[in-house]
Structure 1
């Protein structure tokens, strides 16, 4: 990453996965890299708010956050239905020889990724990237989808969003533990932190 002009600005850990965040001044880009057991698990471009160039927290005094104005950065594991192709050989009794054959397997695929939430003025939006965005999708703008049915209490935040006509995932965030669950055709489980890294606050 350094050879490509990126500078590591911070790191965090979720379960057995380590996340590092890299900033490029040249490209004005923030990249999140997940590693598990010493191996790269995923690399995604994420909103710029995830990175602070130079890796320094804000030196100014934290500004109070209104109860309905919260930015959350969440990391964890996604899951969706996927297909994979395998090529091999199969014996042909008629021709008495092995012939090439393609097999297609279907099942759930798990992957490392992150999502971001922005709640304010009684509404909100969610940022999705990579495999969290299905091939057939609509309604998003620059990776952001509007949240519907937003409910915020001292203990929990719930909402829904549309990625296409058949997929309307449900969001459930536990504000005490910081854990988030998204239930839909593409699911997600992870842990969230407040987006204001200089404030050191929990949810």
Structure 2
């Protein structure tokens, strides 16, 4: 998967929300709205000079994460592309080594238009996308932790101080994208939900299989690797999404539809 687009706001993670809003405005960002989650709130901010939309998660009064997202989340045209920056300042050309994510914020839009997709709807593998979602929430997976401690050496009949490795569940803020069409779909995973051994996908997108699109629930699965085939369920009434794989692999969050419809989707 390609490197994610930098927001230039990484230094503000952990800042107090009330105090940080002034700094965001000083850097050219405008609050375009948001929503309240179960244990945190999500606010969208738009920077016109950078043509960049970011979603800021606030938990316990502090910014817990700042992630780039699609322009429609900030009520902007979907075909706007981020303006590369260096050290937080707009650049006339990309800095050396700059590699934008080829799938970020610019699906292939054809001429014309499609409901829910300002400026034209994306076409994927010859299929016209019926529904496009951006989902924010909490991801989890099994991680490896190490440390040092005293352990009993039976062969030497004594305690010895050394290192140890153990597995633990990692929980983190994440966002993903979902597109569906008649009988099919695909899901775009954040890097944090892609294990070292994976089926590689296509520019971060994984095909959805066994897709069932009902009036209230959307279901499907994707093949992450030979052992892990997570199940996806989206409640169309509440906008909640659940991804459940093997062990501690999963994601829970809330989805927004691309566009400006008054209902969820």
| TM-score of the aligned structures, taking structure 1 as reference length | 0.75
What is residue 21 of structure 1 aligned with on the other side? 44
Structure with the higher strand share, 1 or 2? 1
Give distance in 2, aligned partners of 1:202 and 1:33.
Answer: 20
Q: Among 182, 185, 204, which residue is 1:143 paired with?
A: 204
Contact 1:14–1:75, Cα closer than 8 Å, also in 2 = no
Q: Among 227, 231, 250, which residue is 1:187 paired with?
A: 250
CA-based RMSD of the aligned residues comes to 3.3
Shift of 1:115: 1.8
Give distance in 1, aligned partners of 2:188 and 2:222.
Answer: 11
Give distance in 2, aligned partners of 1:146 and 1:24.
Answer: 32
Q: Does 1:11 align with 2:72?
A: no
Give distance in 2, aligned partners of 1:134 and 1:48.
Answer: 28
Structure 1 stretches lacking a partner, 5+ long? 55-61
Q: Among 146, 160, 163, which residue is 2:221 paired with?
A: 160
Give distance in 1, aligned partners of 2:198 and 2:47.
Answer: 29
Count matched residues: 190
Partner SS for 1:147: strand
Q: Within 5 Å, which residues of 2 pair with 1:75-154?
A: 75-87=136-148, 90=150, 101-154=162-215
Give distance in 2, aligned partners of 1:20 and 1:135.
Answer: 31
Structure 2 stretches lacking a partner, 5+ long? 1-8, 10-23, 78-112, 117-128
What is residue 110 of structure 2 aligned with on the other side? none
Say if 1:125 and 1:31 are closer, same or farther in 2 by CA, change over 3 A.
Answer: same
Give distance in 2, aligned partners of 1:47 and 1:4.
Answer: 19
Shift of 1:194: 2.0
Contact 1:150–1:158, Cα closer than 8 Å, also in 2 = yes
| TM-score of the aligned structures, taking structure 2 as reference length | 0.60
Q: Which has the higher contact order (CA 8 A, sep 6+)?
A: 1
What is residue 96 of structure 2 aligned with on the other side? none
